[in-house]
Structure 1
Amino acid sequence: MPKPGFNPLVAELSQPPIPAVQAWAKAYDGAHGQLIDLSQAVPGYPPHPDMLAWLAEAAGSAALAGYGAIEGDAATRAAYAAHVSELYGAIIRPENVHLTAGCNQAFTVAAMAVAGPGDAILMTNPCYFNHETTLQMMGVEARYFDCTADNGFVPRIEDIADALDGVKALALVSPNNPTGAIYPPALLADIFAICRERGVWLILDETYRDFIASLSGKPHDLFARPDWQDNLIQLYSFSKSFCIPGHRLGAITAGPEVIGQVAKVMDNLQICAPRVPQYAVARGLPALGGWREANRIEIEHRANAMRAAFQHVTGWELQAIGAYFAFVRHPFDGLTSSKVAEKLARDYGVVTIPGSYFGAGLDRHLRVAFANVGAEQIGDVGGRLRMMT
């Protein structure tokens, strides 16, 4: 009797990478001190007590146990629209906002709204692996252009221009995952303009924007353009800045036409985003600005500690760093990034993600999520790298 088969678009995917990396970490015997987990991008500090109280209050609400609006609860959409308006110095209305169950879902529904089987979406190499696998499951072709160390892994406009033909959308992440590279506002303006000219959607994932270094100004001026709604779809996650990744809440900011298409997809995926974190975030956005800013300063402090940790390590090269991540070149000829990351975790208790998980030609690289641990632990990284070398 024949066995039933699986969807080949799913069956051909590799298993999720984070559990494999965590298995290496569990094998570490503590010989060099406490485990330093620089793998998954999670906040290394707890939510604000008020956020926890609002979450608890919402969890006990009978009203919030029911279905909400597909696009998101009105109060949360209004609070987030006001926040985005203030941050970017632009006018964003609640009808420009659609709430989702995390930013991975935001990308999924946005991609489904603009591309279908046989279409193509352009991404960077390296890229965020969940974006890549999402497209593969949808039957959408993922195309790539290279971002390189000699430019700090920031895209070059000419490389984008050369690769835009025949794609429905360009998907970018800034601050970038995995490299940490922050795309300058002027570059984003040029990218938006060329996408507009070519009739291509720009899907801009800004999950880590709250951790851009001080004195950088607003991330870009795209929302100030009168035509931004014609081809810009911006994505965001509340997980990092509010320290609530387990509650799964993200947001899309786009024109009402996009929001209408996304609502069709969302109604079939989940009906509505989780309502408990919606309630809490609607209160936290105006109330916890000072706390969030203090966390941004702490993450900047950790970034500086990571820079210092690499100053006296021979062979290892910190090629990009910003917001939550650093991208590191290892010194071992002939060893894959997976082998290096596994040995570093098992034998020296420093957990990273292999560069090869993020694209082709990246076997000399590791992703480091330095926001996960305090500056004191980060200071031990250099010593362990020297031991391995």
Structure 2
Amino acid sequence: MSSTEATFCSPIVESRRWLEGVTFPSNRPLINVSQAAPTAMPPEGLRQAMADAALNQVDAHLYGAVLGRDDLRDALASQISSHYGGSVSKAQVGITSGCNQAFAASIASLCAEGDEVIIPVPWYFNHKMWLDMSGVAAVPLHVGPDMMPDPDAAAALITPRTRAIVLVTPNNPCGVEYPAGIVRAFFDLARAHGLALILDETYRDFDSRDGAPHDLFKDVAWDKTLIHLYSFSKAYRLTGHRVGAIASSESKLFEMEKFLDTLTICPAQLGQIGAVWGLRNLQDWLAGERHEILDRKAAIEEGFHKLADKGWSLLGCGAYFAYVEHPFEQSSETLAKQLVQESSVLMLPGTMFMPSGDTSGARQFRIAFANVDRAGIEALFDRLAAFQPSQNHGQ
């Protein structure tokens, strides 16, 4: 079996196939809440900075440093230090071709085939896919009814082959924001056992809490345990330019550099130029984007009574996501395909975020609301409230 055969098809790729050959009526256009990626262009100033670089900077078209441009590493180190009230240097920051690559580089630097990584479920499917392809066992840590992982439950899963614990906050797919105390407890657990804590904060710019969501960067030895992942894709609408980042120790970045040099040699220059311009010039604009996302979160919570009256439950909500439970007998995977055909709604079933055979995913859906405003959310809830599954479909 090849490494790619060891894992499943990407849910995003698979769900797009459900749209093939489907025509949506003009009075019921598709509502796509399947993917957490902004579809609008970056602000004009950022686009202009990238265009100017493409026309006038020789180095925008050349190989660059494997760990990224110095100006971007320095700007991000300063931003992290300011936001979290800690101390992060340029040497502790690396730039990657998207946050998925940041995760892949972290695992490559930590794990050998047969090692284990503890990861809460529901999980972010690309994390599971990379662990599968790396021959690393994803050890599921089931969250509680509040969608929160339990450090004590994680401690019981640690074995001699465990190399890391993964957390995503604000969470994908559940949307919940992990309290600072939980994040600190996992950090302390990882440090006590000599493990890495991989903390993916791709959506931190849309956290509802003001200020730092945790205090880990205030620990003088944070980099001995913490591997912090970040993405510029969501903050500055740079999804197609693939710019992510890692904050960790210099020794860990030295190992990751080998992986990154072999895979992509360096991150794309124009995306990096756009990201550093964003860090320097778009903080007020980003605050407005955060306000809009938080308003959509509020719209989900305020309008969910339409679905609650029909037996649905809201399990988690925040950043770009709402995680919900449906009241029907059929599996969410079956219902997801019916919703495309009968309600012009595309959203991912919970089965795509759970281990194979885990029945709880059959009752759940993820709603990614980055590209639906209040009116779109209201229309979505109206369609879901009116939906009645076809009885001739099985589980």
The aligned counterpart of 2:14 is: 20
Confirm whether residue 371 of structure 1 aligns to residue 370 of structure 2: yes
Query: Paired residue for 1:142, among 131, 138, 144?
Result: 138
Give me the TM-score of the superposition, normalised by structure 2.
0.93
User: 2:33–2:367: 8 Å Cα contact kept in structure 1?
Assistant: yes
- The Cα of 1:21 is off from its aligned counterpart by 1.4
> Is the contact between residue 122 and residue 170 of structure 1 (CA under 8 Å) also seen in structure 2?
yes
Q: 2:279 aligns with which of 249, 261, 285?
A: 285
Q: Deviations over 1:308-354 (max 9, x none)?
A: 33212211111111111111101111x11111111112210121111
Tell me what 2:28 maps to.
33
Q: Deviations over 1:356-389 (max 9, x none)?
A: 0111331100111011211111111121012114
Give the 3 Å change call, closer, same or farther, for CA 378–10 of structure 1 in structure 2. same
Alignment of 1:182-201 (within 5 A): 182-201=177-196
Q: Which is further off, 310-319 or 294-303? A: 310-319
**2:89 equivalent to 1:90:** no
CA displacement, residues 284-314 of structure 1 (integer Å, 9 cap, x when unaligned): 1021000000000000111111223321221
- What SS does structure 2 have at the residue aligned with 1:56? helix
Conserved? CA contact 1:77–1:99, under 8 Å: yes
Q: Which residue of 1 aligns with 2:52?
A: 57
Structure 2 counterparts to residues 158-197 of structure 1, below 5 A: 158-166=152-160, 167-197=162-192
Q: Matched residues in 1 for 2:192 and 2:14: separation?
A: 43
**AA paired with 1:350?**
V
Alignment gaps of 5+ in structure 2: 389-395
Amino acid in the other structure paired with 2:293? I
Match of 1:208 in 2: 203
Query: What is the alpha-carbon distance in structure 2 between the residues aligned to residue 307 and residue 236 of structure 1?
Result: 27
State the distance in 2 between where 1:44 and 1:10 align: 29
The yes-or-no answer on 1:342 pairing with 2:341 is no
The answer to whether the aligner puts 1:328 opposite 2:327 as a matched pair is no
2:63 counterpart residue number: 67
User: Percent of counterpart pairs with the same letter?
Assistant: 35
Which of residues 9, 12, 15 is equivalent to 2:3? Answer: 9
Paired residue type of 2:185: D
CA distance in structure 2 between the aligned counterparts of 1:264 and 1:45, rounded to whole angstroms: 35
**CA distance in structure 2 between the aligned counterparts of 1:44 and 1:309, rounded to whole angstroms:** 24
Q: Deviations over 1:223-280 (max 9, x none)?
A: 0001211111000110001011000000000011111111111111111111111112
Paired residues of 1:249 and 1:277 also in contact (CA < 8 A) = yes
CA RMSD of aligned residues (A): 1.4
User: Which letter does structure 2 place at the counterpart of 1:181?
Assistant: V
Alpha-carbon offset, residue 32 of structure 1: 5.3
Aligned residue number for residue 218 of structure 1:
212
1:46 maps to which of 38, 41, 48: 41
Q: Does structure 1 retain, via aligned residues, the 8 Å contact 2:10–2:125?
A: no
Return the offset for 1:9.
2.6
Give the 4+ runs in structure 1 shifted more than 3 A: none
Residue number in structure 1 paired with 2:391:
none
Distance in 2 separating the partners of 1:217 and 1:154: 21
| Amino acid in the other structure paired with 1:357 | M
Unmatched 5+ residue regions in structure 1?
A: 1-6
Aligned to 1:4: none
1:311 equivalent in alignment to 2:310: no
Structure 2 equivalent of residue 232 of structure 1: 226
Paired with 1:88 and 1:244, the residues of 2 have a C-alpha distance of 23
Letter aligned with residue 179 of structure 1: C
Match of 1:266 in 2: 260
Task: Choose the corresponding residue for 1:297, options 287, 291, 294.
Answer: 291
- CA displacement at 1:25 relative to structure 2: 3.7
Q: Secondary structure at the match of 1:130?
A: helix
3-state SS of paired residue (2:370) = helix
1:78 aligned to 2:74? yes
Q: Indicate if the aligned counterparts of 1:247 and 1:277 stay in contact, CA closer than 8 A.
A: yes
Distance 1:14 1:346 in 2: 24
- Counterpart amino acid of residue 182 in structure 2: L
Q: 2:103 aligned with 1:113, yes or no? A: no
Which deviations, in whole Å up to 9, do the C-alpha atoms of 1:151-180 show, x marking residues without a partner? x21111211111123310011111111111
Shift, 1:107, TM fit: 0.2
| d(CA) in 1 for partners of 2:190, 2:107 | 16
Partner SS state of residue 138, structure 2: strand
Q: Structure 1 pair 45/303, CA: closer, same or farther in 2 (3 Å)?
A: farther
